[in-house]
Structure 1
Amino acid sequence: MVTSSSIDHFSSTSKEYSFSRPLYPDTLYKYLSDVTPNKNVAWDCATGNGQAAIGLCKHFKNVIASDASKGQLDYQFERTNIRYEMFPAEKADIGDNSVDLITVAQAAHWFDLDKFYKEVIRVGKSNGILAIWSYGMHQIDKDIDKISARLNVNGDILGKYWPPETNYVQDDYKTIPFPFKEILAPKFEMNVYWSLDDLISYMQTWSAVKRFNNEKKFNPLNLIIDELEKLWGNHEDQKVVKWNINIRIGKIHS
C-alpha cells in the first residue's frame, strides 16, 4: 500500500522530480556534439535541475541552462561552465545569433511552439542545431508492462488525467511540429537498475498521479501496487527499467 506519508514525500515537487528521474546516456550528448559544427555555446532550455546541462558541459565550452521555474533551479547541479538563468522558453534572455546547440529534454510539448521556434531561429547561429526529445512509458517485462499500460495516456486509470500535450509523447514525438531540416538520429535509450520502491518514487512524480489524487483523494498507485508486488518479488530486488528516447534533430537555418 502506498501510504499518505508516501504521497507527501513523493509528490510532484521540484526536489523529488530532480532525484527520481532516469539519466540520459552519455552517448546522446556525444552524438549531439558530433553533429554540431561549433561547440562554444549550448542552450539547454527548460533545464529543470540541469540534468541535460551537466551532460552538455562536457562537450561545450559554455552552457546556458534556463528554466521558467525557480523551484526547479533551486536544485541545480553546479558546474563552472554552466550559467543558470530563469526565463520562459518563449522569451529567452539570450543574444541574437549566439548559440551553437539548443536542447529541450522532456519539455518541448509544454511550450508555445510557434513562439519558441521563433526564439530558436533568433538565437541560433547560422550553422546551429536544435534537438528536442522525450521518453514515454518505461519497459520492464511483458507482465509488468501490462500493468504500466493502465497508467498511460490511453490507460483506464490515469488516461483522462494526462494533459493533452502528452499525446505528443505518446506518439514518440513523431507528430510534434518541427519545421526544421531534420537530421536522422540513431536510437538512444535509458537503462537503470531499480527496486520497486525506486519505480514507485518515479511514478509519484507524474503530473497525472497528482491530478488523480487531488480529484479522487487517494493515490492511484494503490490500484496497481498489489499486482506489482506479486510480479516483482521483494521490494529491494532490482530489475532493469528501460525507456526509449524519441528525438528530433534539425538544422536551425537551412
Structure 2
Amino acid sequence: MKDLFSGHAADYALYRPDYPEALYQWVFRHVRQFDAAWDCGTGNGQVASVLARHFTAVEATDLSQAQINEAVALPNVHYRAVPAETTPFEENTFDLITVGQALHWFDFARFNQEVKRVAKKGAIIAVWGYELLNISSEIDAVILDFYRHTIGDYWDPERHHIENEYAEIPFPYRNTEKSVFPQTYEWTLAQLCHYLNTWSSVRKFEKANGYNPIESLYDRLHDVWGDSPSRPVTFPVFAQLGEV
C-alpha cells in the first residue's frame, strides 16, 4: 500500500469530503452483529468515527501515522499504523470491514486474504470511493481539463481504478451489491480549491515544478464561478459490499 497523504494530513482532515448517511445505513442493513468493525485505510478516522456509534469496538488502521495523528480520539476506537495486508488481528474477529477511498492502493490478493482471515463467517465487507465532483458544466469542464492535462501525468497508475469505479479490482465475496450515493456540499471557491489542493497529483506536480498549479486554476475557476458566494458541489460516492 502506498502512503501518499502523510505530507498534508491536516489539510486532508479539513477539506476531504465525508460520506452520506444513506451509505452507512445501506451497509448497516446487511450487518448481522455489531460487536467489532475494522476500518482499513482509515486516514483521519472519518469512517471509524461513524462506526464507533454503532459497534462495541472499532479497529482503525492506516499506513500513515501522520494521518492517524489527525483522528479524533474515541474510547471504543483503537488506531494502528499498519499495512492493510498484514495486521495483528486475531482470526474471526470482525462483523464488518470497511474501506473508504483507499482500496485502489492495496495489494488486492494479499488484502483479500487478510480479510478472509480476520472476518467472522458471514461478515460484511464494504468498499467505496468517489470520482470527480460535479458543480456546473462550465466549472466541471475547467476542472476536467486541469485533471487531465495540467496534472494528468502526475497521477499514480492506481487512479484508473477510481475512474472506472473499482470495476477491475477483484472482489471475491458472496451476495455482492453495488450502489451510488451522491454527497452534496455548499462550498465557496476557496473551499473547492482547498479540496483540490489535497490531490496527491497536485503535490507531486508542485514538487516537480516548484510551484502550486492550484494558484492559476483558481483564476480560471473564478472566471466561470459566477456571482454566488457558494455553489452546490456533488461527489458521486460509488460503493459495493459483499459477504465474506
Q: What is the TM-score when the length of structure 2 is the normalising length?
A: 0.93
Task: Choose 89-98 or 186-195, whichever is displaced more.
Answer: 186-195
- Structure 2 residue 230 is matched with structure 1 residue 218: no
Q: Which runs of 5+ in 2 are unaligned?
A: 1-5
Match of 1:160 among 150, 153, 161: 153
**C-alpha separation between the residues in 2 aligned to 1:107 and 1:151?**
23
The answer to whether the aligner puts 1:242 opposite 2:237 as a matched pair is no
**Deviation, structure 1 residue 206:** 0.6
CA contact (8 A) 2:131 2:235 kept: yes
Q: Name the aligned partner's letter for residue 165 of structure 2.
A: D
* Residues 41 and 63 in structure 1, CA contact (< 8 A), matched pair in contact too: yes
**Structure 2 residue aligned with 1:125:** 120
Provide, for residues 55-105 of structure 1, a one-character-per-residue CA deviation record: whole Å limited to 9, x for no partner: 111222211111121101111112222111221101111110010000010
Among 184, 187, 195, the alignment partner of 2:177 is: 184
Match status 1:89 vs 2:81:
no
Corresponding residue number in structure 1 for 2:3: none
Q: 1:49 aligns with which of 37, 41, 44?
A: 44
SS at match of 2:28: helix
Q: Matched residues in 2 for 1:14 and 1:219: separation?
A: 17
Q: Are 2:54 and 1:32 aligned?
A: no
Letter of the structure 2 residue corresponding to residue 44 of structure 1: D
Letter aligned with residue 50 of structure 2: G
User: Can you list the C-alpha shifts for 1:119-174, whole angstroms capped at 9, x where unaligned?
Assistant: 0000000010111111111110111000111133xx11111110000100011112
One-letter amino acid of the counterpart of residue 164, structure 1: P
CA contact (8 A) 2:108 2:169 kept: no
Q: Is 2:178–2:238's contact at 8 Å kept on the other side of the alignment? A: no
Give 4+ residue runs of structure 1 displaced > 6 Å after superposition: none
Which residue of the partner structure matches residue 78 of structure 1? Answer: 73
Q: CA deviation at 1:12?
A: 5.0
SS at match of 2:29: helix
Task: Give, in whole Å, the separation in 2 of the partners of 1:134 and 1:150.
Answer: 21
* Pair 1:219–1:116, CA change in 2 (3 A): same
Conserved? CA contact 1:12–1:204, under 8 Å: no
Task: Report the Cα distance in structure 2 between the residues aligned to 1:86 and 1:28, rounded to whole angstroms.
Answer: 26
* Counterpart residue identity of residue 217, structure 1: G
Identify the residue that residue 174 of structure 1 maps to in structure 2. Answer: 167
Q: Are the aligned partners of 2:146 and 2:217 in contact in 1 as well (CA < 8 Å)?
A: no
Which residue is equivalent to 1:251?
Answer: 243
* Shift in Å, 1:187: 2.5
Once residues 40 and 104 of structure 2 are traced to their aligned partners in structure 1, the CA distance between those partners, rounded to angstroms, is: 12
Instruction: Report how many residues are paired.
Output: 239
On the 8 A contact 2:39/2:47 being kept in 1, the answer is yes
Shift of 1:186: 3.5
The DSSP-based 3-state class of the residue aligned with 1:164 is coil
Residue 93 of structure 2 is aligned to residue 101 of structure 1: no
C-alpha contact (below 8 Å) 2:61/2:79 kept by paired residues: yes
Aligned-residue Cα RMSD (Å) equals: 1.6
> Cα deviation per residue 1:22-54 (whole Å; 9 max; x = unaligned)?
111122122211111111111000101100011
